[in-house]
Amino acid sequence: MTGTADRRVTANLALTLDGRFHGPGGPSDFGMFVPYVTSEVAREHLTRIHQGATTALLGRVNAEGFMGFWPAVAGDADADPRDRGYAEWLVDTEKVVLSTTLTEAPWERTRVVNAPAADVVAELRAEGGGDVLVNSSPSVIKPLLAADLVDRLYLMILPEIAGGGGRLFDDGLPSTRWALSRQETGELGEMAVVYDRVR
């Protein structure tokens, strides 16, 4: 299933070696991720993920965190140009936030939708034009993987074992095959990989 025209659904996430997107302390436990997110490889990867994307699809928690942080980076002339480029894209692009609790969007160019992720993706694909980036939101990525609706995965693999925390790849996902289209390794052992779904 490739959707309308060539509108892909892409997703990005950072994972530890044991497949965790946060540590055992809960969703705000990102201490082990910190040394890697400003590496050269991570910043180049950050630039790559939004190229070609015209819609950011986010869960509420990530939307609140992102929109509380990135707009200031977009206006910071001293920020790394790659960080600023991503921040400007996020502020300026269409954002769709999946939420059962928000009733209206607190950010510009944002609409809030209370619907299953697969239904929202089907609607976005029908609208056409550019990739849909599921932006570091495991609550959205997981049901889309379960429905086999992700076309590209941008993953940062960090050389840490968390030993606990949320996993991206739960048991019960459909069997799928992916082709490695890009791989870079940083000085700290972090890897930026891009996988495309083979259909």
pTM over 0.75: yes
- Cα–Cα distance, 183 to 7 (Å, whole number): 23
Q: Dump pLDDT digits (tens) for 82-140.
A: 999 999 999 999 999 999 998 888 889 999 999 999 999 999 998 878 999 999 999 99
With helix as H, strand as E and coil as C, how does the chain read? CCCCCCCCEEEEEEEECCCECCCCCCCCCCCCCHHHCCCHHHHHHHHHHHCCEEEEEEEHHHHHHHHHHHHHHHCCCCCCHHHHHHHHHHHHCEEEEECCCCCCCCCCCEEEECCCHHHHHHHHHHHCCCEEEEECCHHHHHHHHHCCCCCEEEEEEECCCCCCCCECCCCCCCCCEEEEEEEEECCCCCEEEEEEEEC
Q: Dump pLDDT digits (tens) for 129-161.
A: 899 999 999 999 999 999 999 999 999 999 999
Instruction: Parse the chain into domains and list their residue ranges.
Output: 9-198
Q: Under CATH, which architecture does the 9-198 domain have?
A: 3-Layer(aba) Sandwich (3.40)
pLDDT exceeding 90 applies to what percent of the chain? 82
Q: What pLDDT sits at residue 6?
A: 64
